[in-house]
Amino acid sequence: MEVERVQALSHVTLHELPAKFIRPAHEQPENSKAIEGVTVPVISLSQPHDVVVDALSKACSEWGFFLITDHGVEPSLIGRLKEVGEEFFKLPQKEKESYANDPSSGSFEGYGTKMTKNFDEKVEWIDYYFHVMHPPKKLNLDMWPKNPSSYRGVTEEYNVEIMRTTNKLFELLSEGLGLDGKVLNSSLGGDEIEFEMKINMYPPCPQPQLALGVEPHTDMSALTLLVPNDVPGLQVWKDGNWVAVNYLPNALFVHVGDQLEVLSNGKYKSVLHRSLVNKERTRMSWAVFVVPPHEAVIGPLPELIDEKNPAKYSTKTYAEYRYRKFNKIPQ
Ligand code: OGA
Ligand code: NI
């Protein structure tokens, strides 16, 4: 089936946004503006250990979102990751279509235009590229871009660094729950934990005040580590308001996902977030979803449960959790 790509549509120099992209009035950015003067937590990992543990734990409880700096991922590597992704999206449409995914096959790997069923019927102003990066047995290298030819090498290098950083975060976040540093990693599947790359591409939009790049959602991952380009757009929900996230070069933008909320029995909260689009510039972001394998059994960690602290979530496989997304959209 032919899919209408947002990028191709944008190139036709549209003046008016097609109806399917027009959000309900209350969702339009004009009518749900971000609050002024509030900024998200930025945490340097080079601070003393106990300071970092406390800061991360507080950010996960109060925001479900934070930026990390001094994480050790080289700025030049982040720069190369962005370059190869940008190059892919500049390829002729026909070449991109040769990587088109087929969600009806049950896999979203490849070039695509909509990843999940939305809560309403409206469509998001976004194209994406999605593929697994780890573990090796789940790789489907045929679905990785072959052009530019450096795509694979750069992405593999980035994955090594993101895995190292994620494991460090799992350790610190386990400690923040008062537990042994190994608990979160092993509860999520250890070596079987999956790392998935999603390159988000939001072309210039003729009427950005009526559209959304991604609608409000929580990630179903355990954690999502994202780097955006310098075009702003990401907003996170905090205490009844949208808060705009400013670009901070080379910081990693970390989202707590639903699986970490469940494991921590609600101490850590998955963050509701959305992204806006831009009239002149293309916004892009590179999100790595860190997810348990489908068969992993996810529930509140037994160490956190007693008579005074009953389980707030049921225990079931990730496959089951995955298809019942949390709905935190304010009514
Ligand atoms: C996502 C997402 C936000 C962004 O891909 O799940 O929320 O900043 N992206 O692109
Ligand atoms: Ni998200």
- The Cα-based distances of 113 to 95, 98, 147, 316 in angstroms read 15, 14, 19, 30
Among 273, 325, 329, name the best residue to mutate to test ligand 1's pocket (greatest count of ligand atoms within 8 A of Cβ): 273
From the alpha carbon of 198, which atom of ligand 1 is closest?
Answer: 5
Name which residue sits closest to atom 8 of ligand 1, judged by CA: 234
Segments of the chain scoring below 70 in pLDDT: 1, 11-13, 115-121, 325, 331
Active-site pick, 96, 131, 217, 255: 217
Cα–ligand 2 centroid distance for 280 (angstroms): 23
pLDDT value at position 263? 98
Residue of 108, 256, 285, 322 with the most ligand 1 atoms within 8 Å of its CB, for mutation:
285
Ligand 1 pocket, residue 198 CB under 6 Å: yes
CA of 254 to the centre of ligand 1 (A): 11
The answer, yes or no, to whether any atom of ligand 1 lies below 6 A from the CB of 221, is: no
Could you give the domains of the chain?
Answer: 6-291 (2.60.120.330)
Task: Tell me the H-state helices in the chain.
Answer: 6-11, 49-62, 75-90, 93-97, 151-176, 183-187, 258-263, 318-322
Cβ count near 15 (within 10 Å)? 7
* pLDDT of amino acid 1: 58
Planar angle of CA 324, 102, 90, nearest 5 degrees: 110
Instruction: Tell me what pLDDT residue 12 has.
Output: 63
Confidence at residue 11, expressed as pLDDT on a 0 to 100 scale: 67
Q: Catalytic one among 131, 267, 269, 273? A: 273
DSSP string, 252-299: EEEEE-HHHHHHTTTSS-PPPEEE---SSS-EEEEEEEEE--TT-EE-
Ligand 2: centre distance to CA 33 (Å): 19
**What angle, rounded to 10 degrees, do the helices at 151-176 and 49-62 form?**
90
Find out whether the beta carbon of 203 lies less than 6 Å from any atom of ligand 1.
no
219 is catalytic: yes
Q: How far apart are CA 176 and CA 184, in angstroms?
A: 11
Q: Which one is catalytic: 96, 131, 219, 269?
A: 219
CA-283 nearest atom, ligand 1: 10
Does the predicted TM-score (pTM) go above 0.85? yes
Three-state secondary structure call for residue 221:
coil
Taking the CB of residue 173, how many other CB atoms lie within 10 A of it?
28
Predicted pLDDT at 3 = 79
